[in-house]
Amino acid sequence: MGEHLTPTAIAHESLVQATTNQNAWIEIDLAAAAGNVRSLKQAMGGSELIAVVKANAYGAGAAALAPALEQAGVARFAVVWPHEGYMLRQAGVALPILVLGHAFPADAVPAVRSRLTLTCHSLELGEAISRAAANAGVTAKVHVKVDTGLHRFGLELDAAVALAEELRNLPHIEVEGLTTHMANADEADDSFADEQHRIFRLAAQRLPWIPYRHTANSATALRREELRYSGVRVGLALHGVIPPNTGGPVVAPILSLRARVARVTAVEPGEGVSYGLTWRATAPSRVALIPVGYADGWRRGLGNEGSVLIHGKRCPMVGRVCMDQFLVDVTSLEGVAEGDVATLIGSDGNNSISASDVALAAGTISWDVLASLQARLPRFYHRAGAVEALAPPMW
């Protein structure tokens, strides 16, 4: 952790200028992100927007995106690891930060120092938080999670109620929140949410003194008004990607992944390309080398399946994805040359490729496609093409 997390401000430069000598990069549209915050806040009525920025904000870069979301009017942040919370504080985030995942008693002191709201799953952790808060002369807020059927994190109904009551009696602790998480929110049939909601309601009835309740991720929040409660934990929808089973307010994708063609090669009929020579030309062909690979999070499963946009046209990926590059067939496209922009995610002209399109081609989900994008890719933050900040590549 340190300075390298803080994106460098660069003023008065266009995306085109800033990326001239970049092999590959991510563009984050901060104006689109602010628009998504507005749309989602409106759609959620009185429920607070809790921006989930775990996993480096799903590949978008939390250190720059979180302050922009804060400015755009989200109410709180959520992460999964305590250290993600410390990094958000380093990035200057002032709003409440909820840690959704596991914490050790040893996390209590730094978490209290960074004013993180931990999800408390044991009396031992609660006592450590209580001691840390007493030493710091503050009251620490915690949330209690009920496992209503996902069997991932949290306590069964009776144990959750018992823990909440015990935590209530500890000094310097305030049990602020009661929470759970849905098992099949983004699936065609999300009816198990009704059974989970039944158990959550029992917990809420037995713990009426806990003021803040939250149960919904993007899909649940958009689909089920009754599960919005005090706040909704929205990740994917803030990125302008709507879960497959879900309708919702108009949101715009915030992330584009682009690269510059590194080389164009002629391939004769019968010749193959990339490891294993799994694609062979059937006619005189030209292939363009794109300097992005699975080390950047561009899935190996996309080999011979995915496509990219060059000059606004869809070009099929050919051969295997390597660690640092892959090839696309540009035979039908005149004049492709070294330095031309290839769009892997995003729009070019009238065409676009969404994270969901990539997910479908790779046999995975859009969350996975975004969260896989690695730190080797520099990230440019812009509004209407004017770059405001750069997050340089990291090891």
Ligand X SMILES: *Cc1c(COP(=O)(O)O)cnc(C)c1O
Q: Which residue numbers are catalytic? A: 54, 275
- Closest to ligand X by CB, 6 vs 246, is 246
CB of 268 to ligand X, least distance (A): 46
**Tally of CB atoms within 10 A around 240:** 20
| Residue with smallest beta-carbon separation from ligand X | 235
Q: Which is nearer to ligand X, 233 or 382 (CB)?
A: 233
Q: Which is nearer to ligand X, 72 or 100 (CB)?
A: 100
Identified binder of ligand X from the candidate list 236, 242, 322, 373, rule CB under 6 A: 236
* Contact positions with ligand X (CB under 6 A) in 214-233: 217-219, 233
Choice between 39 and 274, CB closer to ligand X: 39
CB of 140 to ligand X, least distance (A): 20
User: Nearer Cβ to ligand X, position 54 or 228?
Assistant: 54
Among 64, 91, 100, 167, binds ligand X (CB under 6 A): 100
In whole angstroms, the minimum distance from the beta carbon of 289 to ligand X comes to 33
- x/- contact string, 344-373, with ligand X (CB under 6 A)? -----------------------x------
Least distance to ligand X from the beta carbon of 52, Å?
Answer: 4
Q: How far is the CB of 182 from ligand X (least distance, A)?
A: 9
Q: Would you say 218 or 356 has its CB closer to ligand X?
A: 218
Size of the site for ligand X (CB under 6 A): 13
Under the binding rule (CB under 6 A), the answer on residue 59 touching ligand X is no
Q: Does residue 181 interact with ligand X by CB under 6 A?
A: yes
- Nearest to ligand X of 290, 345 (CB atom): 345
Specify the 3-state DSSP secondary structure of 308. strand
Q: 208-215 long-range CB contacts below 8 Å, 24 or more apart?
A: 209/168, 209/175, 210/144, 210/164, 210/175, 210/176, 210/177, 210/178, 211/176, 211/177, 212/143, 212/176, 212/177, 212/178, 213/177, 213/178, 213/179, 214/50, 214/177, 214/179, 215/179, 215/180, 215/181, 215/182
145 - beta bridge partners? Answer: 179
User: In DSSP terms, which residues pair with 351 in a beta bridge?
Assistant: 348
- Residue position matching structure tokens 């949410």: 193
DSSP, collapsed to helix, strand or coil, labels residue 295 as helix
With contacts defined by CB under 6 A, name the span among 212-220, 247-255, 273-281, 313-321 that binds ligand X. 212-220
Q: Are 118 and 126 in contact (CB under 8 A)?
A: no
Instruction: With beta carbons less than 8 A apart as the criterion, state whether 210 and 146 touch.
Output: no
State the nearest-atom distance from the C-beta of 96 to ligand X, in Å: 15
Which residue from 327, 319, 324, 316 is spatially nearest to 272, judged by alpha carbons? 319
Among 26, 40, 62, 234, which residue interacts with ligand X (rule: CB under 6 A)?
A: 234
**Which region, left, alpha or beta, applies to residue 138 given φ > 0 means left and ψ of -120 to 50 means alpha?**
beta
The stretch among 110-118, 129-137, 211-219, 329-337 that binds ligand X (CB under 6 A) is 211-219
**Within 2-21, which residues bind ligand X (CB under 6 A)?**
none
Within residues 253-312, the interface with ligand X by CB under 6 A covers none
Chosen residue from 85, 235, 297, 378 binding ligand X by CB under 6 A = 235
Question: Are the C-beta atoms of 119 and 179 separated by less than 8 Å?
Answer: yes
Min dist CB 367 to ligand X, Å, is 6
Q: Bridge partners of 249?
A: none
Of 84 and 107, which has the nearer Cβ to ligand X?
84
**Helix 62-72 × helix 82-90 angle, to 10°:** 70
Told to check if 52 binds ligand X by CB under 6 A, we report yes
Give the interface segment with ligand X, choosing from 68-76, 213-221, 320-328, 343-351 (CB under 6 A).
Answer: 213-221
Q: Give me 187's structure tokens.
A: 């699936």
Contacts 24+ apart (CB under 8 A), 295-298: 295/323, 295/324, 295/374, 295/376, 296/24, 296/324, 296/373, 296/374, 296/376, 296/377, 297/59, 297/369, 297/372, 297/373, 297/374, 297/377, 298/257, 298/326, 298/344
Contacting residues toward ligand X, per CB under 6 A: 52, 54, 100, 181, 217-219, 233-237, 367
